[in-house]
């Protein structure tokens, strides 16, 4: 049992998809993915506190989020305890949400990853990132990537990771339009159609190897944009065009959306774009690559 109160604070950075491809459906019902992932500085803030006692409680500043095991942060704590046998004592998890919810930015998965890293440090469990990522894979497909972060090629369900040369440092504007997207619905739609285009993943990998930001930006692509319902696709395309007209080197939807992001070489042009776009899109963020 924990013999004294311990506290740790940690960040849960957002994830963006520089590319996203769906290669097909596997026999187990999951889809075979191929994605270039990038973490950015925009983050949720987590505080983990353990003290003598037992039980797990979670609080957030968004009242509509679940606070039981349906929340991936709680699921991660339970998975950590099951895998390691660690005594969590009375564990309190506090999440200050900065990432938009249901935006395609892996907010819940990143919270789960932050819990795994935080508990590992708080309890001196001594696990390495590979072991933490393995635990994360039992919680959600994006959690292993969020444990490691950086720039990576993700395959399988998203849990098979290959580190890549880092994206050259850039500034990023992210805008989330005010409508939800159903991830299961998009996967159903993608199963029922032949995709007309696929991202040039190999080209993105070459551009990363060369440190060519413009080469990466020219190749941003997400197949889920093609299967959005027509009105949603139009809104996403309008946001992409607004970012490009404001000076973005490239723009793309992330995950199953609906958040859209643009890459900028300098903070001045990114800030000007952020100020312009947020007049019509309340959930607009200015951040940078990690």
Structure tokens at 43: 């983050």
Considering the domain 6-163, what is its CATH architecture? 2-Layer Sandwich (3.30)
Q: Where are the domains of the chain?
A: 6-163, 171-288
Tell me: pLDDT of 2 over 70. Answer: no
Say if residues 51 and 4 touch (Cβ distance below 8 Å): yes
Over range 148-173, report the average pLDDT: 96
Say if residues 112 and 73 touch (Cβ distance below 8 Å): yes
Q: Is 15 a catalytic residue?
A: yes
Over range 158-171, report the average pLDDT: 96
Over range 197-209, report the average pLDDT: 97
Is the C-alpha dihedral spanning 32, 34, 39, 43 positive or negative?
Answer: negative
Tell me: pLDDT of 185 over 90. Answer: no
Q: Is 148 a catalytic residue?
A: no
Backbone φ and ψ of 173, nearest 5°: -110, 125
Q: In this prediction, what percent of the chain has a pLDDT beyond 70?
A: 99
The CATH number of the structural domain formed by 171-288 is 3.30.70.890
Range name among 28-42, 103-117, 198-212 with the lowest pLDDT average: 28-42
Range name among 28-37, 89-98, 160-169, 213-222 with the lowest pLDDT average: 28-37
Tell me: pLDDT of 249 over 80. Answer: yes
Tell me: pLDDT of 6 over 80. Answer: yes
Instruction: Say if residue 30 is exposed, middle or buried (CB neighbours under 10 Å; 0-12, 13-18, 19+).
Output: middle
| Rg (alpha carbons) of the chain, rounded to whole number | 19
Active-site annotation holder among 21, 142, 148, 176: 142
> Across-strand partners of 176?
283
Tell me: pLDDT of 72 over 70. Answer: yes
């Amino acid at each position: 049992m924990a013999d004294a109160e311990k506290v740790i604070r940690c960040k849960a950075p957002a994830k963006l998809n520089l590319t996203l491809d769906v290669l097909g459906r596997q026999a187990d019902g999951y889809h075979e993915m191929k994605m270039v992932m990038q973490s950015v500085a925009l983050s949720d803030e987590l505080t983990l506190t353990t003290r003598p006692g037992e039980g797990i409680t979670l609080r957030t500043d968004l009242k509509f989020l679940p606070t039981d095991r349906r929340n991936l942060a709680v699921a991660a704590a339970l998975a950590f305890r099951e895998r390691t046998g660690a005594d969590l004592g009375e564990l309190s998890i506090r999440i200050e949400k900065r990432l938009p919810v249901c935006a395609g930015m892996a907010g819940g998965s990143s919270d789960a990853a932050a819990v795994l890293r935080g508990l590992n440090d708080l309890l001196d469990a001594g696990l390495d990132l590979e072991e933490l990522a393995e635990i994360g894979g039992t919680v959600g497909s994006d959690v292993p990537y969020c444990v490691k972060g950086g720039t990576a090629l993700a395959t399988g369900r998203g849990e098979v990771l290959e580190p890549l040369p880092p994206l050259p440092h850039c500034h990023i504007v992210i805008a989330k339009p005010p409508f939800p997207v159903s991830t299961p619905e998009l996967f159903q739609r993608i199963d029922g159609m032949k995709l007309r285009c696929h991202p040039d993943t190999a080209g993105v990998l070459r551009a990363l190897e060369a440190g060519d930001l413009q080469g990466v930006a020219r190749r941003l692509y997400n197949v889920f944009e093609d299967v959005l319902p027509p009105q949603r696709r139009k809104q996403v395309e309008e946001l992409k065009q607004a970012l490009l007209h404001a000076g973005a080197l490239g723009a793309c939807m992330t995950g199953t959306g609906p958040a859209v992001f643009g890459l900028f070489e300098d903070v001045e042009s990114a800030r000007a774009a952020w100020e312009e776009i947020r007049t019509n899109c309340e959930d607009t963020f200015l951040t940078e690559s990690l």
